[in-house]
Chain A
Amino acid sequence: MGNYLRWLLSALFIGLFFVFLQQGVFGMLLPAAAVPNLFVGFVLYLAFFHPSGQGAFLSFLLGLLFDVSSGGLLGPWASVFVLSYGVLALISDRIFIEARFALGLIALFVTLAFHGLYWLITFDVTYSNPNRLIEVAGQAVASAVAAPFVISAVQAWRRRFISDRSSYSRVR
């Protein structure tokens, strides 16, 4: 099995695990406003550590997975993820994410941008409800807190199971 294919499958598996964590564990134990969007961390990881065409494709697939798991339309989250990924990957060399706080801050804005883009694509009426906006704000904060851990976890996973010989990127 090729390294990229292995990474792709791994990423999808991690995505499924995130779906389970988000919907199964956090969704049951925490109030909706405190459930982090773990995919934000994953997209950040891809944008900052794998800025490539493959990363964009992976983000798209993760978005599709998110769409499918949310049971709504197929495609809006994929669009949101890939567009966010593209923008972040383009400016990744100008943003320093070594500090957890900076990473958290970016995750916060990315989560809000996710929802903003999603609303622009779908015109979801639920966003007109103030409770929904509070929920989104809460999720943004929770995602900001979770993002550094998600990135560390995905990094550890990748180091353990995927070798970087075929990476198209170079280490700065």
Chain B
Amino acid sequence: MIDARPGEKGKILTISVSLFFIGLLLTAYSAKNENTTRLGASAVQTFVAPFEEGISTVRRFFQRLVDRYILLVNVKQENRELEQTVSLLSEKLARLPELEFENTELRRILALKERLKLEGMVAHVIAYDTLGGARSLTLDLGRRDGVRVEQPVVRPEGVVGRIRSTTLTSSQVLLLTDYASGVDALVQPSRARGVLFGRGPESTRLEFVVPDDEVNVGDAVITSGMGGVYPKGLMLGSVTRVVKQPGELFQDIDVKPSADFLHLEQVLVVTE
């Protein structure tokens, strides 16, 4: 550090104070004459502007760099979101035919309800009892939904079976084809009466039809309404074979069930 020479302090003070007042005068003058300031400012600006322009260019470069980086980050994020959307849409698209199919099925079941004036609930098949070849299946409705034992289970094509047992949330259906199944039936158009028994996965047999009744291959077999389980007129199947043995009390009649028991998805549980 350097000290002022002796006697210099007074000089500094005098000059400083003088210049201070000159500054004040200049201030007062420039307050009234704006051009004085403007001229000086433009002179400095002329000197500084090119440098500022350079700095500004560099700054803009970095700003763009940052913007692009941020943009890239955004693009990455957007890409991730779009991938999720595509995945979601693909899933929906894949489900579309399924929903369409389900819709058609439900419409058919609804039409059946209206046609036969049945009260019931649509249930989804959630499991097949494959033991012995799908002779029973499980529905997603149970006691909580109003499903009771012995309620008929039907499809637009025909009878599926009846409720064998229920839990709170599910129920098991005894299929027409089960050996334990027996349905009082009529043969159209002869009105021959018999009982349709299950005989395994794909077939049933109509028994107790007397030889005098006219039954032909292709005749439709429907429920008779007797027995208190199935309403009258529900399609059971069609006759595929008729054997009349001389001396036998009843005809030997095979019936192919109308319902496709191996491809059931929705069924109507008839409540009334």
Contact B1 A82, beta carbon cutoff 8 Å: no
Q: In which size bucket is the chain A interface?
A: 35 or more
Q: How many residues of B contact A (CB 8 A)?
A: 40
| Tally of contacts, chain A with chain B, CB under 8 A | 155
Among the stretches A1-9, A21-29, A140-148, the one at the interface with B is: A21-29
Chain B residues whose CB sits within 8 angstroms of the CB of A75 once the complex forms: 22-30
Q: Does A73 contact B (CB under 8 A)?
A: yes
Chain A residues whose CB sits within 8 angstroms of the CB of B25 once the complex forms: 75
Q: Does A152 contact B (CB under 8 A)?
A: no
Contact A169 B4, beta carbon cutoff 8 Å: yes
Assuming the A-B contacts A67-B40, A82-B19, are A16 and B47 also in contact, with contact meaning beta carbons closer than 8 angstroms in the complex?
Answer: yes
Contact code string A13-24 (vs B, CB < 8 Å = 1, else 0) = 000100110011
Contact code string A72-95 (vs B, CB < 8 Å = 1, else 0) = 111110111011011101101100
Apart from the given pairs A74-B30, A90-B13, A93-B1, 18 other A-B contacts in the complex at a CB distance below 8 Å = A16-B44, A16-B48, A20-B48, A29-B59, A51-B2, A52-B5, A64-B40, A65-B44, A71-B41, A74-B36, A78-B23, A82-B19, A83-B20, A86-B13, A93-B4, A121-B24, A170-B5, A172-B1
B residues at A contact (CB < 8 Å): 1-5, 8-9, 11-13, 15-17, 19-31, 36-38, 40-41, 43-44, 47-48, 51-52, 55-56, 59
A residues at B contact (CB < 8 Å): 16, 19-20, 23-25, 28-29, 48-53, 55-57, 59-60, 63-65, 67-76, 78-80, 82-83, 85-87, 89-90, 92-93, 96-98, 121-122, 167-172
